[in-house]
Structure 1
Amino acid sequence: MLPADLILINARIMTMDGAVPRAEALAVRNGRILALGSAADMRALASGATRVIDAGGRLVLPGFQDTHIHLQDSGQDYSQNADLTDARTPDDIVSTLAAFAKTHARAWVNGTGWYSGIFHTGNLDRHLLDRAVPDRPCLIVASDGHNACLNSLGCQAVGLTSATPDPQNGSFVRDADGEPTGMLYENAIMWAEARMPRPSDADFAEGVKWAQALAHRNGITGVLDARVEERHVRVYRALEAAGELTLRVAATALVNAFDTTDGAVERLTGFRASAGGERFKVHSAKFFLDGVIENRTAAMIAPYSDAEGGNAPLMFTPGQINEMFTALDAARFQIHVHAIGDLAVRAALDGCEAARRVNGDWPSLHQIAHIQFIDPADIPRFHKLGVMANVQPLWARSEPSVTDVAVPMVGNDRSRWIYAFRSLLDAGAAMALSSDWGVSTLNPFQIIETAVTRQPPVAEGKVPPFLPEERITRAEAIAGYTTGAAAAAWRSADTGTLSPGKCADLIILDRDILTCPAHDIGDTQVVATLVDGEVVHGAV
């Protein structure tokens, strides 16, 4: 056997491989795991040129993979625009934007990350933003990406007036006189951004590099960018060609309601053919079937239960869903669906069932992301249809967007099935855990903690768990970031476990997240992250 390039010793390796679940050392050659075993066995594979890493007795896991993230867009947003994540009052938005505007001379002032569980049409409009930015156009986008707000000069710059019709699957909020308030919902954001100066490819490339460094600091070695178009593909391809892509990036390409089925298949087929490298691929089709509960665009089976009532339609007709899912499934694309309301979840399952009926079963692992609401009758259908639940557990806790917005809007009976992760697993559903960053943190340890506790961090005060019967175990959560995530990204052959022959993607942690107090999991620090046996984070 040829000597190892790298050996890792003095480790508590959890391989996630049932054949060899634990080891104390491993060896790497040419970026792949050569062998696992005792330190003595691995030292026997070393030569004078072999690098030795002493893990100090720490826990070692396969590299985590985040299979629903907006890496390129959020990287550019958070690295180059005003960060409104910590804003909790209208005055916070004003002060943060005003301070940012003083240090940036761009034609527009842009902000990102405001929390739609707190800010809404009652306390956010163009007049508030005029206080912060009176001299230039301004656009701020919520962390969820489904809500945004323009200031008055921004409305003028994009040509938004009382006579502007709403775009398909989007709306402009208007006051009692029919004048735009500046608030934008869903595709109205895309309408506005198409009329604004856009960042350059170089800006987005720098955003990717900033974001992948953040991902590596958090133990992430692979991602699935959950909404890409031609520009995203172009930027990722250029980074890979330049050798600057240290993350494994799979991508899900956006399909719009105004697309034809043949046009969508042709476009995605072109993307896939142009992006088949070692670090970047396009393998799935992204559908937004509804919006979000906070702006009342989540599609529910029954109308909302609060005094305002009403409902939201699906963003694609059932006929479109069945036809497009079937055609893309036949072309061997994975389907990746944004579904918040229980009607959207059901429509996605119906579309997957229609495709399976025509094309037969194959290991697609079509995915439904978010699943904030689900009718209990649909829970067993995930296993039956081979559909994966791609969930974001950080949201499954008592906080304003859930307890103050979602629960009153849907009522107590339907609230029982908010983020029903335990029920899905018990019904045999495959599951991947993810962040949806920049909607919320990409830190997987904070997300795992919430999945296990259904509570915010202790530092935020004592808060009762939200639907504690829907907690999942630590082992299940780790699987959701390793074996489940690798399957979701179609990378199981090479990643997800620390097994001989697979890529040497691994992380070393400062604590054992399987045994430490549950409320300490979120404080975990990543000592080192390796991709293909190369250290991309840490000093080891």
Structure 2
Amino acid sequence: MPADLIIVNARVRAIFAPAGTTAIAVAEGRILALGTDETIRAHAGTTTHVIDAGGRELLPGFVESHLHLFMGGATLTMLNLGPTFGFEATRDALLGFAAANPGDDILFGYAVNYVIFGENHRPDRHLLDAIIADRPLCLLSTDLHCAWANTRALELAGILQGADVGPGAEVVMGDDGFANGELREFAAMNRVQMLSRLKGRDGLHYEGGKVSEEDRTHDKRLIRRAGDYCAQNGIASAVNMDGNAYQAGLLRDLALAGEMPVRVSLPLRLEQRHGPQGIAQIDDFGPDVPGWLRFGRIKLFMDGVYDTWTALTVSDYPDRPGFCSEPLIAPDIFNAMCIEADRRGLQVATHAVGDGAVRATIDGYEAARTANGARDARHRIEHIDTIAPEDLDRLKPLGIVASMQPVHPPGSAGLPLEPTTTIMGRDRWPTAFPWRMIRDRGVPLAFGTDWPVSPLSPLYAIHCAQTRKPWATDIPDQRISLDECLLAYTAGGAYADFAEDSRGQLKPGFDADLVLIDGALEGLAEAEDAARVALTVCGGRITHDGRS
């Protein structure tokens, strides 16, 4: 069989292909052969597309193990305030953005640091009113677990006088008896996000409703744009971490039309109120699109984040004696949901940031194994910002996958250390973001970014992983090697997504998901621009070509 695509004159790491490999042949979307330039050129036919890699490094396509595609596509139309600090700089950026987007629609900024206006002053409606008062404005925090709205947005959302948004979320009130603008967790944030054209359809709380064909087309365009952005960053597989039947339908339309440049797996996102009976909603997703769209997973949230004091902890918060926060799902209900999902053969992925949330999640997975018996479930814990030392050794025996984000530790990816490290408490620092400890215990490790919470680029994430600094001289260095990072972004991600027999390595018969790298990956330990994505191939199709 002649090859459709051949790449020659490439460098390939021994962790991905046999030593001496310099070329690859692709046919019908799969890897046909690996070898030297001479042996692979023999697979060329009259219509074969031959690419000279020019000595660039060839890798398997990256597996982004935790992102939010629909939400990410939406943020591509928002103002990125991640690098912005100080009132004047924020004011200038927002006024410029408003001028470039005239009208009465709500304005959104995202990736906003909690200390954007200084360490001693969290954002509030008064500060935002001083910038823009006559148009609704909402700033989304860098972790997407908090937002700040101006008075106009709070009025339009009907929450200026406050609102009961349910357990685990809060419309924070000021001393004047009115909402101060801070909205903690999704249920509160959603009140303001409903003011946008999307009406919350991209949000974690959306559960369906009547949507016009015009809006469906708009939403598919956003998701397709997010997929293109993934391809630009070398990503061939995207593991979405929110999902509902509406998103499943949009993604199926795109996949069946051949319009998605990345493979996607989508979960059913559930809350405590759904209980174990809610798991049946995944039947509404319909069938997979083989090779391009996969379901088979539920997503749960056990807690929030440290910056809003919603991370569930084993011991008290240092600044709040007697307070450990509350689980978003009560242990008995969480255990029942894990048991039912496991019984149905589904994978469970649970957001767990605090050490108490991680422990409760492990308990739930253990309950599922006790009830149903051992199987290759690969239940996942998403984030593991902190973990109690005694719980580290519980992960591997239960077959748990650690899905982690190198761009999340404070001090990395432009994130300030404060207020997170102080709120977290120094006693938790030694096992915070414990990649090294997890890897050394043989626990499967998959990397992602949680985009749009953090920048999407796997190369930037690897740079952050390689340059991470301990927060104090007496705590362990949790960095892992470059090759270990690459494996977490390829073979590790494929394993976590039950795709290790077709992705994550360069082997004949595997999917032809490839990326060519300009520059030197080793240089990422020094500089974030030491390497860049030159070419991305997904299923044998070039989805991004950035070669100069």
Structure 1 and Structure 2 fold alike (TM over 0.5): yes
Q: CA RMSD in A?
A: 2.4
Alignment partners' CA distance in 1, 2:195 and 2:464: 39
Cα separation, 2, equivalents of 1:449 and 1:102: 35
Residue 51 to residue 536, structure 1, CA distance change in 2 (3 Å): same
Structure-2 residue corresponding to 1:393: 406
Aligned with 2:28 (options 24, 27, 30): 30
Measure how far apart 1:308 and its partner are: 6.8
Deviation at residue 204 of structure 1 after TM alignment: 2.7
Distance in 1 separating the partners of 2:345 and 2:104:
43
Specify the alignment match of 2:247 in structure 1.
Answer: 232
Q: Which residue of 1 aligns with 2:445?
A: 431
Structure 1's unaligned 5+ residue stretches are: 457-462
Q: Secondary structure at the match of 1:210?
A: helix
How much does 1:465 deviate?
Answer: 8.6
Equivalent position of 2:180 in the other structure: 181
- Structure 2 SS opposite 1:335: strand
How far off its partner does 1:178 sit? Answer: 2.9
Change (3 A) 1:319 1:75: same
Task: Please report how far the alpha carbon of residue 411 of structure 1 lies from its aligned counterpart in structure 2 after TM superposition.
Answer: 3.0
Aligned partner of 2:376 among 356, 363, 377: 363
Q: Which moved more, 1:105-114 or 1:298-307?
A: 105-114
Matched, 1:208 2:223: yes
Q: Report the counterpart of residue 511 of structure 1 in structure 2.
A: 519
> Using the alignment, how far apart are the partners of 2:94 and 2:546 within structure 1?
36
**Is the Cα–Cα contact under 8 Å of residues 16 and 59 in structure 2 kept in the other structure?**
no
- Supply the AA of the counterpart residue of 2:426: N
TM normalised by structure 1 equals 0.92
- In the alignment, the residues of structure 2 paired with residue 466 and residue 71 of structure 1 have an alpha-carbon distance, to the nearest angstrom, of 39
SS of residue matched to 2:419: helix
Q: 1:98 aligns with which of 78, 95, 100?
A: 95
Q: Which residue of 2 aligns with 1:255?
A: 270
1:81 aligns with 2:96: no
Corresponding letter in the other structure for 1:98:
L
- Contact 2:519-2:530 at 8 Å conserved across structures: no
Cα distance in 1, alignment partners of residues 174 and 265 from structure 2 = 42
**Comparing 123-132 with 423-432, which one deviates more in the overlay?**
123-132
Aligned equivalents of 1:121, 1:155: Cα separation in 2: 23
Separation in 2 of the partners of 1:355 and 1:303?
28
Identify which range, 429-438 or 212-221, moves more after superposition. Answer: 212-221
The corresponding residue for 1:115 is 113
Separation in 2 of the partners of 1:99 and 1:407?
33
**C-alpha contact (below 8 Å) 1:12/1:58 kept by paired residues:** yes
Matches within 5 A, 1:310-349: 310-349=323-362
Correspondence 1:135-146 to 2 at 5 A = 135-146=134-145
Structure 1 match to 2:308: 295
TM-score w.r.t. the length of structure 2 is: 0.91
CA shift for structure 1 position 28: 1.0
Q: What is the aligned residue count?
A: 528
* Unpaired stretches in structure 2, ≥5 consecutive residues: 200-214
1:335-484 matches, cutoff 5 A: 335-396=348-409, 398=411, 403-455=417-469, 467=475, 469-484=477-492
Q: Distance in 2 between matches of 1:182 and 1:446?
A: 33
* Cα shift at 1:252: 2.1
Relative distance call for 1:76 and 1:466 in structure 2 (3 A) is farther
1:450 Cα deviation from its structure 2 partner: 2.2
| Cα offset, 1:101, TM superposition | 2.0
Structure 1 residues 197 and 213: CA distance shift in structure 2, 3 A: closer
Q: Secondary structure at the match of 1:478?
A: helix
Partners of 1:35 and 1:442 lie apart in 2 by 31
For 1:132, the equivalent position in structure 2 comes to: 131
- What do the CA deviations read for 1:102-156 (whole angstroms, capped 9, x no partner)? 2322432222221235468933111222233222222222231100112111111
For residue 244 of structure 1, what is the aligned residue in structure 2?
A: 259
Give 2:205's aligned residue.
none
Aligned to 1:218: 233
Whether 1:171 and 2:170 are equivalent positions in the alignment is yes
Task: Give the Cα–Cα distance (whole angstroms) in 1 for the partners of residues 245 and 282 of structure 2.
Answer: 10
Match of 1:531 in 2: 538
1:233-291 Cα offsets, whole Å, 9 max, x none, are 222122223321010111122111211311x21111222x3443431222211111111
Distance 1:196 1:44, change over 3 A: closer
> How far apart are residue 517 of structure 1 and its match?
6.4
In structure 2, distance between residues paired with 1:422 and 1:318: 29
Shift of 1:161: 3.8
